[in-house]
Amino acid sequence: MSCIWPHRTYGVVILFLLACFLHYFFWHIDVASTPIITTKSKQEVLPTYVFSSQYARQEIPHLTPVNPSTLIPSGSHPIDEAHRNGYLHTGHCLFIMDASGLLLFLKRSSDVVTCPSTWSILGEHSMAKEEARDTVVRGMEEELGLKQVGRLETSDSSSFFADFQTMNKKDTIHVAIQNITQYPLYYIRHYGPRLDNRIDSQLTYLWLARLPKPFDEIQITLDDEVADHKWISLEEFSDWIEDDARNYDKEEEKSKTLQIHERQKDDGPPSGDFCHHTIRSLYAKGLDNLKLLL
């Protein structure tokens, strides 16, 4: 048998190798040029709403409490479409507090598209056909690596209890969860021409989840979008958010005033440890309510 391949076979092998190279090359280019999007964000489809005649949307200030029973459903849309068009949707922010009174803050990865390398509390959008309490539980499961194994509803619609199992299945914790606002707050931010005039229009529920043990006695597994985390006291959080506002609010207000003068809706560029003043003001409202509650 000759060790030299027949001419025809040699040509077929060359074409096969060339096809493999081109496939790899163009696949590599596509991946390298595409922003990092997690599987979770690809699957997010949000129920959207319009305000009833009781509200005139353009007159509702940021952080105004809104009775959700007044909303009119308007279908479901992918999260990117909702933000591009400013569709009203709902979301939930959770203050996680351990038994010693420390609050959990998460630092976002530098790879995420929205607010990279900034600090936040746990947050989730409400998905289609998902009740508010289910969103809260899902957020704790996805962000903290816990698994709900039981739930106790209460006669008080603003609170409930949930039992979670840690990832190693060695511990089950009984968590008290309560809403810290009577109604969700209307959160509105215009991103302006810098981000294709996207608008985040959201009714935001603020919750407090109380863990039954100190944080170092509970196994928590943070998701891959979290670069760092820390537990701090209510007083430390108060000082932190006041310092951040003092350092950045004037800068953002100046930018916002310039944009208004140019007849553009833009709430200013990202700045500060909490991404921007719109989020910071929401957290500050939550802080005020926590001080009253605790």
pLDDT category of residue 19 using cuts at 50, 70 and 90: low
Residue 10 has a pLDDT of 46
Q: Is the pTM for the entire model greater than 0.85?
A: no
Mean pLDDT of the chain: 83
- 214 confidence band (pLDDT: 50, 70, 90): very high
- Where is pLDDT greater, at 49 or 192? 49
Question: Quick count: other Cβ atoms within 10 Å of Cβ 253?
Answer: 13
CA–CA gap between residue 64 and residue 75 (Å, rounded): 24
Per-residue model confidence (pLDDT) at position 156:
85
Per residue in 135-182, pLDDT (tens digit) is 999 999 999 999 999 999 998 889 999 999 999 988 999 999 999 999
Which of the four pLDDT bands, split at 50, 70 and 90, describes residue 58?
Answer: low
pLDDT score for 53: 79
Residue 40, token pair as written in the block: 């979770």
What is the chain's Cα-based Rg?
A: 24
pLDDT over 90, % of the chain = 64
In tens, the pLDDT along 23-32 reads: 443 333 332 2
Task: Give the pLDDT of residue 52.
Answer: 87
What is the per-residue pLDDT for 1? 32
Give the pLDDT score at 255.
Answer: 56
103 and 233 Cβ atoms separated by less than 8 Å: yes
The answer, yes or no, to whether residue 22 has pLDDT greater than 90, is no
**In sequence order, what are the residues at sequence separation of 6 or more whose Cβ sits closer than 8 angstroms to the Cβ of residue 227?**
107, 108, 109, 110, 117
For the chain, where are the E strands, in sequence order?
45-51, 64-65, 71-78, 89-97, 103-108, 119-120, 122-125, 147-153, 159-165, 172-179, 185-192, 198-210, 226-232
Mean pLDDT calculated for residue range 210-223 = 95
* Distance, CA of 169 to CA of 219 (rounded, Å): 10
Indicate whether 254 pLDDT > 70: no
| pLDDT reported for residue 59 | 72
Question: 51 Cβ partners below 8 Å, 6+ apart?
Answer: 57, 60, 66, 70, 71, 72, 88
- Confidence grade of residue 122 (pLDDT, cut at 50, 70, 90): very high
Q: Which residue has the higher pLDDT, 6 or 265?
A: 265
Q: How many CB atoms lie within 10 A of CB 4?
A: 7
Closest alpha carbon to 114 in 188, 207, 40, 225: 225
Contact between residue 134 and residue 124 where contact means Cβ atoms under 8 Å apart: no
What was the pLDDT predicted at 281?
Answer: 96
Distance CA 248, CA 250 (A): 6
Report the pLDDT value the prediction gives residue 248, as an integer from 0 to 100. 84
Which pLDDT tens digit goes with each residue over 102-119?
Answer: 999 999 999 987 889 999
- CA end-to-end distance (rounded Å), the chain: 87
Listed in sequence order, the DSSP H helices in 34-188 are 39-43, 79-85, 132-144
* Res. 43 pLDDT band, cuts 50 70 90: low
